[in-house]
Structure 1
Amino acid sequence: MAKKICILALITILFSLGSPWVNPAFASLPNGNRLKDPYAILRNSLPIDQKELRELQNKLEDTSEDLRGSRWSAISKATSRSQFLVSNKKNQILDSMPAENKENASNLLSKLKEELDELRQIANEKNKVSFLDVRRQSLKTIDDLESLLITKNFPYQIPSEYNNLPRLLGRANVEIKTSKGSMNAIIDGYNAPLTAGAFIDLSMKGFYDGLPINRAEEFFILQTGDPKGETIGYIDPDNNELRRVPLEIRTSSLEDTLYGETFEDVGLYTETPVLPFATLGTLGWAHSDTDLNDGSSQFFFFLYEAELNPAGRNLIDGRNAAFGYVIEGSEILNQLGVDDKIISITVLNGSENLKLKA
């Protein structure tokens, strides 16, 4: 029996089209397409606080708007500022690194300097295609630098009442094979450790292999993970009971991750989660209409449509847990329907971050 997430597509559409005002949360979101870029969302959601790298990252990401308008003067200024940060703030960046990662970070900064020098030259030549290619390389290097800042200690508290649940204490990369093609996704255990842990655990068990797409709503969601038979989720063989994963949402305005509560429950009516439903292929965890904490195995792909589900104004943020993003192959999502299925989900890396219990 398929379990529906507690969202109605029609309400979402009416809300989006019928509201002339701008939601304060939406108005405060980053400029450009940072919020719609899964790589940018994942970078911004890392549990780090290094202002020079963050400024460098944001400077490069924000060139998207200038590229669309062919504002090469602004692009050159942004790349020049990026070069300055790498050359003149190198010591501050290295000082923030754990001792064991300083040498690696120094090598990456040298690599980044070369990439930014090339980027500045391309900006002078006004070559959009080459600029995007080298910018992508530069942001990947920044990704690698930021990952070196993360310590081995998990940064957030998980309530002890969930000690028996799997948790992903970091990130994992998965390949999702479907009857229409394959996708690559990053699963984020930093900001949704129990949700991501349940997904990775079931993926490694082969639970999703062969399961159909059991719900497909155009411009909204594709849902799967409903096992055959009467059960609506994963039955734990140790106790023969349904594994229940609580609603789990993290927001930057609160120190602790929310468990078992929506944003409305705690009065956060204009909040945007750290992992927003803001891009095609956002992975979300399904729960029933009546219980926030009965999600077990079913998950969905969010079919982002800017006009119908604008970031910060859709009705999923704060009511369902996002736990990852498709980073490659998202174009096949618009080809999938209820006649299709998941062939397999393979964990490519990050399985060492999975702990079966506390």
Structure 2
Amino acid sequence: MTSSGEDSSSSDSEERAAYQAAVRLTRRNFVISSAVLGAAPFAFTYFARPASAAPLARVKLGSPILTESVLLDLLPIKGAGADALRMVQGEIEKATILRTIYTRGQDYDAAGNVTIPGSVWDQISKVGNTALAILEERRRELQPTFREVDTAEVQIRRAERGEEELDETRRQLMALTHAAEARNVSAVLDAQSGALLHLSYMGELLVPKFPFQVTMDEQYDSIPRLLGRATVDMTIRRDAPADGPASAPANASLLAAPLQSTIMGNVSLVVDGYSAPVTAGNFIDLCLRGFYNGLPVSFNATEDAGTNSTLQVAIGGTYREGFVDPITGNVRRLPLEVLRADPKSGNVPFYGAARNTRVFTKAPAVQTFRIPGAVAAFHPPGDGNGGSSQFFWLTDANLDAEGVFMDASAEALDGRYSVFAYVISDRAAVAGALRPGDGASYAVDKVYVNYGADNLVKTRAATFKELLLNKGPGGGDADE
């Protein structure tokens, strides 16, 4: 028989052992016992970031992965700065243990709340402090990379942004520590996401030059390239009859009735030219032209014959046959652009459909639609090179039972569509406000490119005449 003090010591030891097992770099299945949580045991798995990580590979490991971690994983960086960044990233990701317990736990009290062991809170506090210490110790290595092509003005802007992102990362890490001390789950998770996001912004400044040459068929030469990243804010609008959809006759046109417009929210995206420079370049080009403003957002169900599954998708950017490029006078068509892990070259985009499946077996897709918030170019069924202005994302109706990843059936889309962006804020809020089938219509109200427009490179400039003709959303006359 043991004393109560010995029981407490034993419990603390078990808590520490459980946490330490969870944050090891290799796979560990373990059970948090009833002595720790005060209820029936449950098992879960945690994986820290492997040395060379791809989003699809990390999803298959089974641990929750944040979109912000994906953005960090996709950065083409090497050297001391990359090592320092990965150290901070790995430390911050240890706080994922809280997300794992919270999403995969059982109900441990009458109110249905999950009990978080005290030692887990203590360790998460240490996560914030340790990450902050690494950040300060390796600060010099995390300064923006000098690039010979940059003007003095650009160098100053990059240095200023580097300091801003360092300060914001530091602030988020301190917030994470304070939230852990206050045992505030949602605040910890928000601070973890924020710290990883601003760390990824710091990482962008470590890229010395664009990592690969974009080569493809001549027919795509007029499409601008995004040689880096950009951030975009997209406002979603809901249009419905003033008295509500139910008041309109069943056969009445929505456009014929007086409409009441409501802004549903603002979605922020990181558009990633490192993953899909052509698709991302097309998107940013159309954003800067104001092409997407006012265009509808529709909701569709897509079926995959191979998996016999149905996915709910939201599609934006629909305008006739697509965007008419003023340079060519034709609808701009996009090649299928899929980032793949090439054994020799690293992560590089492959273009067009596979002629030989062995090629894609050796170079598997890096990105996956199981990551919530992935945005991709839409193309007609069976025509991978037929995309133009349309883009899509999977709605939250496709989330798995734990709400961590999209359902496994979403993998059927991997390698078949070009993932070029990720939603980084307000996805859940806007997704909750969108109600497909409620009788209203939805549209993109406004799109703003907040940062990264200078990463857009146009391979061919339009003539003065072409610029004059580019009046409407499709590149033609706005009044036609």
Q: 1:154 aligns with which of 201, 210, 214?
A: 210
- Gaps of at least 5 residues in structure 2 are 1-55, 102-115, 148-154, 239-263, 302-309, 461-480
Partner of 1:351: 453
Partner of 1:235: 324
Q: 2:289 aligns with which of 205, 212, 218?
A: 205
Partner Cα distance (1:93, 1:291) in 2: 43
CA shift for structure 1 position 307:
2.5
Partner of 2:236: 178
Partner of 2:202: 145
CA shift for structure 1 position 194:
0.5
CA shift for structure 1 position 291:
2.1
Report if the CA contact (8 A) 2:374-2:423 is conserved: yes
Report if the CA contact (8 A) 1:191-1:274 is conserved: no
1:148–1:251 Cα change, 3 Å: same
CA shift for structure 1 position 26:
5.5
Look at both structures and tell me which one has the larger radius of gyration over its CA atoms: 2
Report if the CA contact (8 A) 1:43-1:143 is conserved: yes
What do residues 280-319 of structure 1 show as CA deviations (whole Å, max 9, x unaligned)?
Answer: 4321111222321111111112225232843696211111
Report if the CA contact (8 A) 1:66-1:74 is conserved: no
Partner secondary structure for residue 282 of structure 2: helix
Partner of 1:245: 334
CA shift for structure 1 position 59:
2.0
Q: How does 1:284-323 map to 2 (within 5 A)?
A: 284-304=376-396, 305-307=398-400, 309-310=406-407, 314-323=411-420
CA shift for structure 1 position 84:
5.0
Deviates more, 1:318-327 or 1:270-279: 270-279
Q: How does 1:72-111 map to 2 (within 5 A)?
A: 72-76=121-125, 78-79=127-128, 81-83=130-132, 85-86=134-135, 88-90=137-139, 93=142, 97-98=145-146
Partner secondary structure for residue 340 of structure 2: coil
Partner Cα distance (1:179, 1:28) in 2: 33
Report if the CA contact (8 A) 1:249-1:257 is conserved: yes
Report if the CA contact (8 A) 2:98-2:185 is conserved: no
Report if the CA contact (8 A) 1:33-1:65 is conserved: no
Count matched residues: 327
Compute the TM-score of the two structures, normalised by the length of structure 2: 0.58
Report if the CA contact (8 A) 1:167-1:355 is conserved: yes
Deviates more, 1:119-128 or 1:155-164: 119-128
Partner Cα distance (1:73, 1:263) in 2: 54
- Gaps of at least 5 residues in structure 1 are 1-24
Report if the CA contact (8 A) 1:32-1:65 is conserved: no
Report if the CA contact (8 A) 1:276-1:311 is conserved: no
- Residue type of the alignment partner of 2:431: L
Q: How does 1:178-197 map to 2 (within 5 A)?
A: 178-180=236-238, 181=264, 182-197=266-281
Question: Is residue 329 from structure 1 mapped to residue 422 from structure 2 by the alignment?
Answer: no
Question: Is residue 43 from structure 1 mapped to residue 136 from structure 2 by the alignment?
Answer: no
CA RMSD of aligned residues (A): 3.5
| Bigger relative contact order (CA 8 A; separation at least 6) | 1
- Residue type of the alignment partner of 1:150: V
Q: 1:64 aligns with which of 96, 105, 108?
A: 96
Partner of 1:10: none
1:130–1:59 Cα change, 3 Å: same
CA shift for structure 1 position 111:
7.4
Partner Cα distance (1:206, 1:109) in 2: 32
Deviates more, 1:76-85 or 1:99-108: 99-108
CA shift for structure 1 position 58:
2.4
Compute the TM-score of the two structures, normalised by the length of structure 1: 0.76
Partner secondary structure for residue 242 of structure 1: coil
Partner of 1:9: none
1:270–1:58 Cα change, 3 Å: farther
- Residue type of the alignment partner of 2:215: P
